[in-house]
Structure 1
Amino acid sequence: MITRWLRESVVASVLLLIARIYLGWKWLDAGWHKITGGFDASGFLKNAIAKPPVDSATKEAIYPRFVSFLEHFALPNAKLFNFLIPWGEFLVGLGLILGTFTVVAAFFGMLMNFMFLLAGTVSSNPWLIIFSILILLGSSNSGRFGGDYFVLPYLRKVFKIKRGSDSDTARGRA
């Protein structure tokens, strides 16, 4: 019931707009500071490898595969991550603020939040994930007051995608 309301209600789209702008600003601001401030991920990566989240009883890393990923892929390719993280944050924020590819932007923002959590950084990540989940649940209604209003119908037409399910067609929303 709540999902249907989030996906169809105009009131929900206004609330999602507020959440989207807040979340977008957080991402855009974080990305811009990294782009203009000379971001280097290698210190964060080294710390995440040296001090991963551990189980208090066993003193073993909770996410050993993620630590291995950081050690064997992310750290050797730190220059790639020095580019991907700031620009990813900036573009996620831009997409959310403009309301263009809103669900895609929220998904990739949430993916970055989870990566930061897996590395042991709590900060505001859980709070931002909650906003992202709401935006994802709202689906295309999350971008109703934004670029998605124009972009999604165009993409549906170009790729000949029918909107909604059979139940939507039965209600006259095709």
Structure 2
Amino acid sequence: MIVRFLRESTIASWLLLILRLYWGYSWLIAGWGKLTGGFDASGFLKGAVANPVSGTNGVVYGWWVSFLERFALPNSGLFNMMIPWGEFLVGLGLILGCLTTIAAFFGILMNFSFLLSGTISHNPTDILMGVIILVSGYNAGRIGLDYFLGRFFKRDTSLERRPIGER
């Protein structure tokens, strides 16, 4: 019932617009600050490796620490570019309503990456907002550029129903 409301209701599309603008603004500002302020992820990555998320019996996400040690740290230059641009583009996509579900997916992915690295902050609420937008599908971007993209890429199925000789 709730999913149907989120996916089909015009009222939901307006509520999703407000949610999209709020979440998109926070992503856009975070990305812009990193793009213009000289961002370096290596300190954060070293801290995440040195102090991993641990439980009562040791490191909870050992596979994540291995990923950070063996891939992320040696390629910190790549992450110095991907994180700011990713945050900025997720924010832009959400604000413009352009490829909204893709932007929400990558926003959720980044939030989970930050959580796995030991940063709580506002990541759980961001993930919740992202899941709501992701579940809403097309309706989340209906009041935005997704409306026009959907009309542009809509296939004409009338030709597919006609016999081959009549096309």
**1:102-122 residue CA offsets vs partner (Å, 9 max, x unmatched):** 000000000000000000000
Q: TM-score, normalised by structure 2?
A: 0.92
Query: 1:14: how far off?
Result: 0.4
Shift of 1:154: 1.8
Q: Distance in 2 between matches of 1:29 and 1:102?
A: 18
Cα separation, 2, equivalents of 1:76 and 1:139:
37
Deviates more, 1:25-34 or 1:148-157: 148-157
Matched ranges for 1:133-148 at <5 A: 133-148=131-146
The letter for the 2-side match of 1:124 is H
Choose the corresponding residue for 1:62, options 60, 63, 74.
60
Q: Deviations over 1:33-53 (max 9, x none)?
A: 000000000000000000011
Percent of paired sites with the same residue: 59
- Residue 137 (structure 1) shift: 1.1
| Structure 2: unaligned runs, 5 residues or longer | 158-167
Q: Which of residues 150, 155, 164 in structure 1 aligns to 2:148?
A: 150
Equivalent position to 1:96, from 78, 94, 103: 94
Letter in 1 for 2:5: W
Give deviations 1:99-149, integer Å, cap 9, x for gaps. Answer: 000000000000000000000000000011111011011100000100000
- SS of 1:156's partner is coil
User: How far apart, CA to CA, are the structure 2 residues paired with 1:83 and 1:154?
Assistant: 32
Aligned residues: 157
Displacement, 1:152?
1.9
Match of 1:87 in 2: 85
Q: Which runs of 5+ in 1 are unaligned?
A: 161-174
SS at match of 2:154: helix
- Which residue number corresponds to residue 12 of structure 2? 12
Q: 1:153: how far off?
A: 2.6
Q: Which runs of 4+ in 1 moved over 3 A?
A: none
Distance, in Å, in 1 between the alignment partners of 2:145 and 2:46 is 39
Q: Please tell me the residue identity of whatever aligns with 2:20.
A: R
SS at match of 2:27: helix
1:113-152 correspondence to structure 2 within 5 Å: 113-152=111-150
Corresponding residue for residue 76 of structure 2? 78
2:105 partner letter: F
The CA deviation at 1:155 is: 2.4
